[in-house]
Amino acid sequence: MLRLDEVTVEAGPQVLLEEASLHVRPGDRIGLVGRNGAGKTTLLKVMLGQVEPSRGQVHRRGDVRLGHLPQQAVSGSEASLWEEARSGMTRLLALQARLEEAEAQVAAAVPGAVERLDTATEAFRHAGGFAADERVGSVLHGLGFRTEDWQRPCTTFSGGWQMRIALARLLLSDADLLLLDEPTNHLDLHTRSWLARHLAAHPGTLIVVSHDRHLLDAATTSTVEVRHRRLDRFAGPLSRWLVAREEGDARLAKQAERVEAEAARLQGFVDRFGAKATKASQARSRKKALERLERVEVHADARGPRWSLPEAPGCAQEVVSLRQASVGHGDTPVLTGVDLTILRGERWVILGPNGAGKSTLLHAIAGRLPLLAGRRVLGRDVRQAMYAQDLAAELPADRTGLAHVLAAAPAVSPERARSALGALGLSGDAALRPLGALSGGERARVVLAELAVRPANLLLLDEPTNHLDALSVEVVAEALAAYEGALVLVTHDRWLVERLATHVVRVGDGRASVHLGVRPEDLEAMPQASPARESGGEAADAPTAHELRKVQRRHRERLGRLEKEADKLAASMERLDAQMVEHALDHVRVAELAAARDADEARLEALFEEMAALEDELSG
């Protein structure tokens, strides 16, 4: 179906893949994993023919149809939601056209039309044509669209729902090989669970890039890791691969230790007796053995630093509580009558559809958002730490990641700070780059690294695994599971919920219900937020018109400034691309230009993330 033979892919001075090979056969269900920046997205583009390898061959069977969902997918269509979702069913639409033509010929009494209609009807039936509308409706419902939204133009949906439209079109298409790059972006937990079930039942071939462990375990049967410019394949889904990878790395490390010990023993004999005539022949023999000894290479990430949290300081048993609280922005409550008490050692997870008030509740628990009614009670000696996306956006642009972590905890050694950053994928030079040159995901990792150097007995985390690869999610989950303080977590990662939660707060319809443990309905049957609510429909308890106009004006002004900056960055990247071509033979100059372009691209990515969030707010 598709084969890569000894493919090498370069991005400026950086080699992403080197003599990498992979054979994708019909029916393969591959989870594509690896550290952020390893080249997973680039590999998909190589398969699609969008990126040409420097060396090696890409073989695609001539009749194979590839379907692709990029990370920042949008439908790009002015058609209705229903029409756009069906538009990828090209074979079925062609059969439908033949059927309708035959029906018209029968109505016109064209000779032989009845036989042609019988043939067209049978072909359409055999292809599942008469069940097509049911399939379309099922997929749209699974992705959270209401029946009344099916005839709305795609252009009326906001950014997150645009991605769902593109995903619906791909899932309904007749592509032979699906290439999905982070398909759970912008999806809440309920929709992720539906997608995992849908992909598990998909009869075709697929390659999925994702950090969502539940989805990969449910939908894939083999795992391919992009590691050290090669492709390593394992016959099993993500959870089994993680165990096998760790065991394999441990065996490799022990083997390397044995080899190094033997090398030291041989070298010691040579150094001690090489100059003695009576031992000369033995020394020569051992020197030859030393030269023949094959060293075992252990890569840095095989025994890399583990992300761990400091011991939680002592504090009151009742860490924080909300009593008959109303929470919201301005004078508008999003949730009312909230009663909860979080004890030391408990791990609370806040669940609910997008827009229901999960982050709002978390910020109220943290004390960052004043209550509209009720009381917040913080226990004695409670020291809290928080992770949120807005904190990452506010990092000083001219400070390095290492300097920022050290500033947050002056008593911590540079080695400890580097370890905290390295465990999250920001090792070596990446820790020394200015924060303004980092992507949004990399800045988020810097904020997470702060948590590893600042002791706290209350952790409040808003989507901490966004932007993390599957390996980093595992590292963070292990640290959170071992943490003995109180934890409050907002996440759409089902595996993380099942791994950590002792209590669940389920929000929706203006209320927050609390219960012990995780129930099946928390994972599978959550009510969906309305697309109309994110795209121009009215919500209950809406802000006043004056407040809304003020907020929208600020958003438009900020969006205008961002668009101008994005245009400048795009022009700068074009100039740098041209200069790299001009100085192609000067490797030092190309490296400098590539570094400058990487910084521009990282800043542009961060701008796009902020612009998308502002556009969602303006359309909401």
Please write the tens of the pLDDT for every residue from 38-50: 889 999 999 999 9
**Reported pTM:** 0.74
**Segment 343-347 mean pLDDT:** 94
pLDDT of residue 534: 41
540: CB partners within 8 A, 6+ apart: 510
Ramachandran region, residue 374 (left: φ > 0; alpha: ψ -120 to 50; beta: rest): left
1: CB partners within 8 A, 6+ apart: 24, 25, 26, 28, 60, 61, 64, 176, 177, 205
Judged against a pLDDT cut of 70, whether residue 493 lies above it is answered with yes
DSSP letter at 313 equals P
**Segment 382-397 mean pLDDT:** 84
pLDDT of residue 538: 33
pLDDT of residue 402: 92
Q: 200 falls in which pLDDT band (50, 70, 90)? A: very high
Q: Is the dihedral of CA 206, 201, 195, 33 positive or negative?
A: negative
- Say whether 110 sits in a helix, a strand or coil: coil
Q: Which H or E run includes 14?
A: strand 14-24
Selection from 168-177, 405-414, 552-561 with the highest mean pLDDT: 168-177
CB 619 within 8 A of CB 611: no
Q: 535 falls in which pLDDT band (50, 70, 90)? A: very low
Task: Output the average pLDDT for the chain.
Answer: 85
Judged against a pLDDT cut of 80, whether residue 286 lies above it is answered with no
